[in-house]
Structures are given as C-alpha cells and as structure tokens.
Chain A
Amino acid sequence: MNDKRHLEVSAIKNGTVIDHIPSESLFKVISILALDKVESQITFGNNLESKRMGSKAIIKIANVFFRNDDINRIALVAPEAKLNIIRDYAVVDKMIVEVPEQISGIARCVNPKCITNNENIVTRFTVVKKDSVSLKCHYCERITDQEHMDII
C-alpha cells in the first residue's frame, strides 16, 4: 500500500477503516451502518483515485468495531469493501464484505403489488445470484435485480 494510506490510517488510534467503497455508494453505506448516529470521530473521503476501482470512498470511524453480520449489510452497495481494524495506531486485523444468504431491510422489493410496498413491513430477501446480486422477495417471490434495486 502507498504512503498516503499509512498517513490516513495512523490518524485514528482505535477504530475501523472501510476502504474500497464505490464513490456513488458512500452515503448509502453511512446510512446502512447508521454512522450518522455515531458520536465518536468519523472522517470520510470521496472520489479518491483507486487503481482497482477508478474512483472510491473511504470512511474512518474511531472507537467503533463491526461484527461480520453488521458489515455484510453493505454488501449490496459495496461488495468489494475492505476493512482495516486499528488498535493503538496499528492495523491488527482485516475484514472483507461477504454477500449474505438472507437480507433484511436495506432494499425495497421491485414489485409494486408486493405487500411490503403497501404496509409497514420490513423487507426480507434471499440472495439468488452472488456476482450480480439478485434478490428474491420472501413474501411475493419476485426477483429484484441490480438494475431495479432501490436501497431504502
């Protein structure tokens, strides 16, 4: 990794860095992880140059650590995200995002006649395709594909 990254990482003593977020997904990630409710220091950057992705975003959150099932919730919008866990200014662990088998909340069902779009019900999906993520609604059984995916 390059110097720029080391300088950014060393800025937090303890916490998590989420890297390789697609630029267009930054605010969705913040919303999904409820980072707007976090009280400790957060820094983020957007439209940063990335060899791998072209353009990316990074979020650094002090004193917050995530469990796998929390972080997998961003899989729909940031499937390639990488996390660095920081303790005492050093990277002590890494995490990757994995598309889960089931997703609750987060996305809307594409079917306007689905009960979830007509009453106050938390959506539930089974993931049917992992590479270009497609979601099968637990209630109406219709498939919502990437093209029609709407994050709540």
Chain B
Amino acid sequence: MKNRSLVSINDYSKEEYLKILELAAEFEENPNQDLLKGAVVASLFFEPSTRTRLSFETAISRLGGRVVGFTDSSSSSVTKGETLKDTIKMVSNYTDLIVMRHPLEGSAKYASEISSVPIINAGDGANQHPTQTLLDLYSIQKTQNSLEDINLFLVGDLKYGRTVHSLLMAMSKFRTTFNFVSPQELQMPTEYKIYLDNLGLKYFEHRDFENIIPHADIVYMTRVQKERFSDPIEYEKTKNAYILNAEMLEGTRDNMRILHPLPRVNEISIDVDEHEKAYYFTQARNGVFTRQAIISSVLGLK
C-alpha cells in the first residue's frame, strides 16, 4: 500500500482492508502520534464538504502533520481556468500527499496518474468515496466483532447511493447476507445483483420498511432525495415510508446498530438519537481513526 494512491474501494484487497481496520483500532487507542512530523499534506476540496474535510484535517493534525489547501474551488485558481492537471502537478511539487474531493468523476484516478505524490480520493462526483467505505467497515467490525456473517440492511436510495454501492462491494468480500429496502424507483441496480449472484451471496429485496429489521445486525440508512424521482407525486407518496423512528427499534437484536453516512435530514427521526443502538455519530468519529490508518499506510509509515 505504500506510495499507492487510494482512488477506488476496488484498489484494496480483502487483506488490505483488514490491515487498515487493524491500524484504525490502534489509532483509536492512541490517536496522537507524531508519524507525520515534518510532513505537509494538501487538502484540495474542489467542492465543499464539512465532515470529510474536517475528519481528514483532524487525522493529519493528530499525526503531527500540517495541512495546506483550499475548501472550495472558488478560492483557488480554478476560477482563472487552471486545469486539474496543472493544479495537481503544482501541488505535488509542494506536498507529500494529496487528499482531494472533486465534482467530476474520474478526477482522482486522473490525478493519481499525473501526481508525483500519492492521492487519496475523498470523493469524485457520484463515483467513489473509498475512505467512507473503510470507516463504515470499521464501524461494522467494531460493533459486531466481525465482518463475517453479517445481516446487512441497506435502506433508502439504493440506485444513486454512492456509499451503498461501495459498501456492497466491500462487504461482498465477506459472508454477508444483504437486505435491500427501497422504493421501486430507487432499487439496487441490476449490475450489483448480478455481481452478488456470481459470488453466490444471498440478497433479499423489500419495498416495505415496517417490521423487517428484527433480524438485522446493521441497518444502514440513506436519504431518499426528491431530485431522484422522475415523478414528484411518487416522491410524495414514498418520502415518509423510509424513515426510522424509535418505535421501530423494539424487538431488534441487542447487537444491532444504526449507521448513516450523514448528513441526516429526516430519514432518522431525532427520537432515535439517544437510543443505544444509534451509532451514526460514533461512526463519523471512527472516520478520523480510519483516515489516520489510510494516510499512514499510503505513506508507508505503519
């Protein structure tokens, strides 16, 4: 993994995921380690993001490194028409590592081909967001004490959800049982179902969110967005059907945990927040340790 960019969740093998998770646990025990002392990391956010950016910048800071960059392309020479190629070539001459989020798909892959330093993809359009998937895996492993034999429920927008597709790909390396809960219009695309069929992994599809989570180990919630519906009336009919509230948690397994990549709008009602099974804020915290692990691994420091 040393000096190898992390662009897609498919860049890592199962063993490599497990190594990152192991490192993340070490960082959770001991988050302040001067591994990046003397190093400078670029944080290039061509489109704004609060959570991911702050998570990365915290990870770098706790490792003793320094951050340079921009939080929005309007505060960079992109406004002068500078190409991504020139920006990356320039920044790779200044820093030891680049973390980037960009609205265009394939941007991180391209950057990794022209940069003289490793690239960590913090999100390229609707394509990949591998560090989110790794922190999701870490959260699942931490709460379930394993990644094998998990009954994983993916709820909400399964058609356009970048995080659910990526999580599916990662969890397909383990003996996972998948349950898809979504409106008809936002169901999991066929290509992913075929992929699971070819691996011999079981999946079940549900339109109804009522009464089906008692056997779940993990319930991964995502937002159903109005813009994704071709028919606004259809949206109005279904928008409240995929909301999780505290009452629905009765009868669920003790080990069950609720995950959400955030930001959360109304799909998890606030009466769930204080419930012991609500894990989404801790999940975000896990992002710092996971990103510390990824950075250390990519730079060959651990």
Binding site for B on A (CB under 8 A): 111, 113-116, 118-121, 137-142
Interface residues of B in 143-168 (CB under 8 A from A): none
Given contacts A140-B125, A141-B8, A141-B127, contact A114 B83 (CB under 8 A): no
Q: Is the CB of A121 within 8 A of B125?
A: no
A148 CB to nearest chain B CB (Å): 16
> Which residue in chain B gives the minimum CB-CB distance to A141?
B127
In addition to A115-B102, A139-B105, A140-B125, 12 A-B residue pairs with Cβ atoms within 8 Å of each other are A113-B103, A113-B125, A115-B110, A116-B106, A119-B84, A120-B83, A121-B85, A121-B110, A138-B106, A139-B106, A141-B127, A142-B105
Q: Is the CB of B105 within 8 A of A114?
A: yes
Binding site for A on B (CB under 8 A): 8, 83-85, 102-107, 109-110, 124-128
Q: List 5 A-B contacts (CB under 8 A).
A: A114-B104, A114-B105, A119-B110, A140-B106, A141-B105
Q: Is the CB of B105 within 8 A of A111?
A: yes
Q: Is the CB of A113 within 8 A of B105?
A: yes
B68 CB to nearest chain A CB (Å): 23
Q: Which residues of A contact B124 (CB under 8 A)?
A: 140
The one of B83, B85, B127 in contact with A140, judged by C-beta atoms closer than 8 angstroms, is B127
Closest 10 CB pairs of A and B: A139-B106, A140-B105, A140-B106, A115-B106, A115-B107, A115-B104, A139-B109, A115-B110, A114-B106, A113-B125
> Which residue in chain A gives the minimum CB-CB distance to B7?
A139
Which among A115, A119, A141 has the greatest number of chain B C-beta atoms within 10 A? A115
Q: Which residues of A contact B102 (CB under 8 A)?
A: 115
The one of B105, B126, B128 in contact with A115, judged by C-beta atoms closer than 8 angstroms, is B105
> Which residue in chain A gives the minimum CB-CB distance to B107?
A115
Given contacts A113-B125, A113-B126, contact A137 B106 (CB under 8 A): yes
Q: Which residues of A contact B107 (CB under 8 A)?
A: 115, 139
Instruction: Give Cα A116 to B125, complex, Å.
Output: 13
Instruction: Give Cα A142 to B103, complex, Å.
Output: 15
Instruction: Give Cα A118 to B107, complex, Å.
Output: 10
Instruction: Give Cα A111 to B105, complex, Å.
Output: 9
Q: Which residues of A contact B125 (CB under 8 A)?
A: 113, 140
Which among A114, A116, A138, A140 has the greatest number of chain B C-beta atoms within 10 A? A140
Q: Is the CB of B104 within 8 A of A118?
A: yes
> Which residue in chain B gives the minimum CB-CB distance to A111?
B105
B194 CB to nearest chain A CB (Å): 12
Q: Which residues of A contact B105 (CB under 8 A)?
A: 111, 113-115, 139-142
Q: Which residues of A contact B110 (CB under 8 A)?
A: 115-116, 119, 121, 139
Q: Is the CB of A113 within 8 A of B104?
A: yes
> Which residue in chain B gives the minimum CB-CB distance to A121?
B110
